[in-house]
Every structure is written in structure tokens, then in C-alpha cells.
Structure 1
Amino acid sequence: MNDTPAPPTRRDRRKAQTRQRISDVATVLFLRHGFDQVTVGQIAEAADVSKVTVFNHFPRKEDMLLDRGPEAARLITDAVGDRAPGETPLGALRRVLVERARTEEPLGGFADRFTEFWRLVADSPALRDRARELYQELESVLAECLAEANPERRADAALAAALALAAYRTAFHAAASRMLAGTPAAEVVDDHIAAVERSLRAVEHAVECAVERAADER
């Protein structure tokens, strides 16, 4: 059986290009004028599409800026699903998150230019709420990946996912806060990586201890 996905069609590519153009245009407008000051109509006009097209790609205005949810979900599923032999699911996730931190990619990486984006999110209650929702969605994705990777521990998957992402979010917010206060990205990355390594190892150890304790009590 061949599980290789079919290559995207021309229609798929055009849709992806339109979606990216809308997101790029919206991001520029939000950064320039503020999230609440920009209307969907203005975004549609600047992207040279209809408002219907905008809503077809982004039912929520917040997702035009916070548009990397699907990419983050794939990052998690690929990390767990493609882990090396002998590598634990949370160990694979930790490795991938550390690898991303060493890049300047918008998803998980650090660069001085990101501070303007982070400040925009921090200043908008609507964007902060949507960011929290996205974390919850990713928590569910990770929980399902952990359950599939270790079916006999399905009952522990939700807790492990919640702890792992809470640990990562704490480390990321600490690093982002330092940069928002003026510390260059180059001075933040190593501390962030150390925090991710330390906290996710602690989560994995805590989950293992809880499982062993529960087994002893049965």
C-alpha cells in the first residue's frame, strides 16, 4: 500500500497562493495600523480579492495573522510519527522544538524582527484569546499523537500533552518577554533552548514516574 500523498493540483496551488497573499497583506496592514483598526474590506481590497474570498480562506479575522496553526499541527504530528527508532514521542518533540529554536523561522524560531509581531498580539485581547485557543487545539493534536504512539497509555496522553505544551509555552514566553524588553535574539536563544530541554525532560520524567506509580498501585 502506498501512503504517499498525491501532489497538489494547480487549483490547490492557486488556493494556497491566494491564502498566503491574504495573510501577508493582512499582516502588513495590522502591523502598520493596528489589528482592530483594519477591516476585512480593507484587507480584501489590498489583496485584490473579494470579501467572500477572504472569508473562504479565513473565517476568523484573527487567523489572518495567526495563520500557522496547521503548520504547527503538522510539526507535532511529523515529530512524533517520524521519530527515530528508540526515540520517545516527547523526546522527538523536544528535539524538533530545539531544532526550530536554532532557526529564524516564524514558527518556533527567534529573530529580532519578530518583536513587532509579538507586541501586536500582546496588545490585542482578541489575538491573545485566539492564541490561547490555538494552543488548546495543538494540545489536542499532541494528545492524539501520543495516544496513537502508545495505545496502552492512552489515558495518560492528555495530561502528558498538556504538561509538555505548558512547559514549552512558559519557556517561549520567557524568551519573547526578554526580547520585547530589548534583549537581542542572539542573547536569548541558548537560554531558551536550555529551558526547553530542561522543562520537557522534567515533564517526560514526571509522566514516567506517574505511570510507574499507578502500575505499582494496581
Structure 2
Amino acid sequence: MPMHRMPQSGDEPPGRRERKRQQQLDHIADTAWALFEAEGFEVVTMERIAEAADLSKVTLYRHFPVKEALLRHVFHRELRAAWPDIQPELARAAPGRARLARFLELQAAWCESRRAFLLPYTRFRLSDSRLPAEGRERSGMEAIFSELIAQGQAAGEFRADLPVALLAMHLQFAHLATLLRCLTDERLALADELATMLDLVCNGMGGRS
């Protein structure tokens, strides 16, 4: 099964007003990210971001109610941009567990490069999950897991008696639990823990013969 571009909301070309809005959001997020990297996430205030981005606090809070929402914008944009670029790398792995494992290796490397910012982002995403579905901003991970699982099913590597959405949901929860565990214990290597998680998801808790 061929690899596809990660599904996104609103695939039709945006209108001029929407393009301007996205440009403003990107400008604010880029300004905030530069400040976070230079001064530290905890130190930077929303007022500092508004000043550096040359906009009013009212405008900033209308688009981003908290600092963590700025991290969400940056990280989700990076995932959308990276997905097409890693297709050749993923295609070199066999569909199914091997391809999922390669994706998790790449994702672990990205997480390590953003480790200092991932805990506040993840906690924010957990609070965001309490909103109705239409009020959430999807990261894209669910769509990625769904596609990789569907490829594994088509290749006969994963069971096909359960829907992709259900399998992707279980994998996503296991992935999130592993990420949180590693972010709260610096002794743990995320790549190793994700590999263990994938083994548990694929093989269950049965004893080895």
C-alpha cells in the first residue's frame, strides 16, 4: 500500500482572509518559540510575547489563550511539515510492525530535541481532550497511526477483525502513557521505552515460548 500525505482539515486552498490569519498565527508562534528557546518557557510571559510580536495582548489572547497553545501550534505545524518528508524513510521498512517501529524511532528523536517543552505541551493536550471533539485541535498522530496500522492490515501483519480507528486509539493511549512516563523520569530513554511499548501492543502480555 502506498504512503499518503497526512490527512489535514480543509484540504481546499484557503481564501485570502484565512491565509492572512494563518500568517499571523505563524508569526506569533514563531516569535514565541524564539523567546522560549532563548529565555526558557517558564520565564517568558504572554505580555513579553505580545510585545515582541508587536501586537496587543487582546489580539494575542484571542488566538492563544495560554502559552501552551503556542507550543501546540508550533509542534502540530512541524508534524504536518515533516510527514511528507519521512515517507521515503518509512517506505524502506516493511508495512506493519517494522514501519511503525521506524516511525516511533524518528518521533523519539524529534521528541528528544523538544524535550524541555514537551511536558507542558502534553499536559495542555490532556486538558484539551476534555473539550468536545469539534473544539479540539488535532495533532495528526491519530491519522498517522491509523494509516500505518491500515498498511499493516493490508499486508496481513495486523489483525483485520477490528477497525483501524479502534487499534489506533489503543496505540495512541499507550504512546501517550509512555511519553508522559519518560518526561517525568529523565533516566528513561524515550526510544527504548517506545520500542518496549510497541512490543507490548503487538504481542500483548503473553509469555514467550
Alignment partner of 1:196 is 2:205: no
Match among 42, 46, 66 for residue 31 of structure 1? 42
Alignment gaps of 5+ in structure 2: 5-18, 131-135, 205-209
Q: Distance in 2 between matches of 1:77 and 1:155?
A: 27
Q: Per chain length, whose mean CA-contact separation is higher, i.e. which structure has more relative contact order (CA < 8 Å, sep 6+)?
A: 2
Q: Which has the higher helix share?
A: 1
Q: How does 1:12-91 map to 2 (within 5 A)?
A: 15=23, 18-24=27-33, 27=36, 28=39, 30-32=41-43, 38-39=46-47, 42-49=48-55, 58=63, 61=66, 62-67=68-73, 68-73=75-80, 75=82, 83-84=90-91, 87-91=94-98
Q: Which amino acid counterpart does residue 63 of structure 1 have in structure 2? A: A
With over 3 angstroms needed to count, the CA separation of the structure-2 counterparts of 1:197 and 1:129, relative to structure 1, is same
Count of paired positions: 174
Match of 2:170 in 1: 163
| Structure 1 residue 64, shift from structure 2 partner | 1.0
Deviations 1:147-187 (A, max 9, x none): 477569495211221222222222221111112xxxxxxx4
Aligned letter for 1:143?
A: S
Amino acid at match of 1:31: E
Amino acid at match of 2:194: V
Does the CA-based 8 Å contact 1:66-1:131 persist in structure 2?
no
Q: How does 1:65-144 map to 2 (within 5 A)?
A: 65-67=71-73, 68-73=75-80, 75=82, 83-84=90-91, 87-102=94-109, 107-109=110-112, 114=116, 117-118=117-118, 120-121=120-121, 128-130=126-128, 138-144=141-147
- Aligned-pair identity (%): 19
Distance 1:59 1:154, change over 3 A: farther
* Secondary structure, aligned partner of 2:91: coil
- Secondary structure, counterpart of 1:32 in structure 2: coil
Q: In the aligned structure 2, how far is the partner of 1:89 from the partner of 1:80?
A: 14
Instruction: Supply the distance in 1 between the matched residues of 2:101 and 2:138 (Cα, whole angstroms).
Output: 16
Do the aligned residues in 2 keep the contact of 1:167 with 1:199 (CA within 8 Å)? yes
> For 1:31, what is the secondary structure of its paired residue?
coil
- Matched-pair contact (CA < 8 Å) for 1:73–1:138: no
CA RMSD of aligned residues (A): 4.6
Structure 1 residue 200: Cα displacement: 0.9
Any conservation in 2 of the 1:168–1:196 contact (CA below 8 Å)? yes
What is the DSSP-based 3-state SS (H/G/I as helix, E as strand, rest coil) of the residue aligned with 2:184? helix
> How far off is 1:29 after superposition?
7.7
Per the alignment, do residues 136 and 127 of structure 1 end up closer, same or farther by CA in structure 2, a change over 3 Å counting? Answer: closer
Question: TM-score normalised to the size of structure 1?
Answer: 0.54
